[in-house]
A and B are shown apart, each in its own frame.
Chain A
């Protein structure tokens, strides 16, 4: 309640803008969608505006994956000192012209949009007699705990899980687990939101999933071939040596080498 009061006034312009777009999309506007579908359309518009940003993030993510082996080495080297580890990683970024994938501002920028939409949907600009249903199951002005609402919340939680899965492609294991648990923790709060807001959240998550699927298909992860190439050289050298010189002598030194490698891997 307090944060709503503090944020209400600076958010008014954003709120007005969102309301205007929603009205333009809505049943009395130019496009003439139902209110529920205009929320979906509004979400898609917001996400479309963010696409250039996402493309940039994907590029830097690939760059990051290309340098993954070296970064892992740094992480291993400063395993005991987390602070030093972070600092060394940052230095490595700077030296190799890497731009870490994500940053705080875009994430935080979505937050005011969400709150503004919450406020817009609270005093929804509908007229009596408007169709407020979505797929005949949900009324967007209802609480998500009413009627079929929990089903929508479940779908939302699944979409959140799926989008977290794509978002956490480079995150650490412990963080990934956190990302998977949180949607479930959020359910008791989300069930008290209005269906319209859950609809927005669900749509934005599904968009993230779609984006993730497309980018994965278009750009196969560079990390996998990198890994292979870092392992294959000794083998290639060995096979090349065998191929060019049929004598068994040069093949011999490669065998103890392999044993050593295995031992290192076990440690």
Chain B
């Protein structure tokens, strides 16, 4: 039952893993944050589910741009959702 409820989350996790094992391999080590954006996405999806996790991951990707400072930023420490 719990597994069935988490099915959408698994879809999201699967997509991130698919990215990691395809084009992500070419861009390894290019994230300015710790953990990397893909790891952040996995953590966020795992902890907050597909919808909120995706929003968090998307927001993180937008922050990972040439004008931001980077740094240590865990999904668990997010302040978007309470």
- Whether A148 sits at the interface, judged by CB under 8 Å, is no
In the complex, how many angstroms separate the beta carbon of A9 from the nearest chain B beta carbon? 17
Residues of B within 8 A of A105 (CB): 61-62, 64-66
Q: Is the interface of A mostly helix, strand, loop or mixed?
A: helix
In the complex, how many angstroms separate the beta carbon of A208 from the nearest chain B beta carbon? 12
A87 touches B64 (CB 8 A): no
- Whether A214 sits at the interface, judged by CB under 8 Å, is no
- Whether B71 sits at the interface, judged by CB under 8 Å, is yes
- Whether B5 sits at the interface, judged by CB under 8 Å, is no
- Closest-by-CB residue of B relative to A52 is B66
B27 touches A107 (CB 8 A): yes
- Whether A99 sits at the interface, judged by CB under 8 Å, is yes
User: Using a CB-CB cutoff of 8 Å, which residues 59-74 of chain B contact chain A?
Assistant: 61-62, 64-72
Of A174-182, A226-234, A255-263, which binds chain B? A174-182
- Whether B37 sits at the interface, judged by CB under 8 Å, is yes
- Closest-by-CB residue of B relative to A57 is B66
In this complex, how many residues of chain A approach chain B with their Cβ under 8 Å: the count is: 30
Q: CA separation between A105 and B66, bound complex, in Å?
A: 8
In the complex, how many angstroms separate the beta carbon of B18 from the nearest chain A beta carbon? 8
Residues of B within 8 A of A102 (CB): 27, 30-32
Of A23-31, A88-96, A133-141, A192-200, which binds chain B? A88-96
Could you say which of B15, B26, B66 contacts A103, with CB atoms under 8 Å apart? B66
- Closest-by-CB residue of A relative to B32 is A100
Q: CA separation between A57 and B70, bound complex, in Å?
A: 14
Instruction: Given A105-B64, A108-B61, A111-B23, answer yes or no on A90-B30 (Cβ-Cβ < 8 Å).
Output: no
Q: CA separation between A239 and B38, bound complex, in Å?
A: 53
Q: CA separation between A178 and B21, bound complex, in Å?
A: 12
- Whether B52 sits at the interface, judged by CB under 8 Å, is no
A175 touches B61 (CB 8 A): no
A106 touches B66 (CB 8 A): yes
Contact with A along B20-45 (1 / 0, CB 8 A): 00010111111111111100000000
Residues of B within 8 A of A101 (CB): 30
B31 touches A104 (CB 8 A): yes
- Closest-by-CB residue of B relative to A168 is B29
B23 touches A56 (CB 8 A): no
Q: CA separation between A182 and B67, bound complex, in Å?
A: 29
- Whether A130 sits at the interface, judged by CB under 8 Å, is no
A99 touches B30 (CB 8 A): no
Q: CA separation between A108 and B67, bound complex, in Å?
A: 15
Could you say which of B15, B25, B29, B64 contacts A171, with CB atoms under 8 Å apart? B29
Could you say which of A60, A94, A103, A178 contacts B31, with CB atoms under 8 Å apart? A103
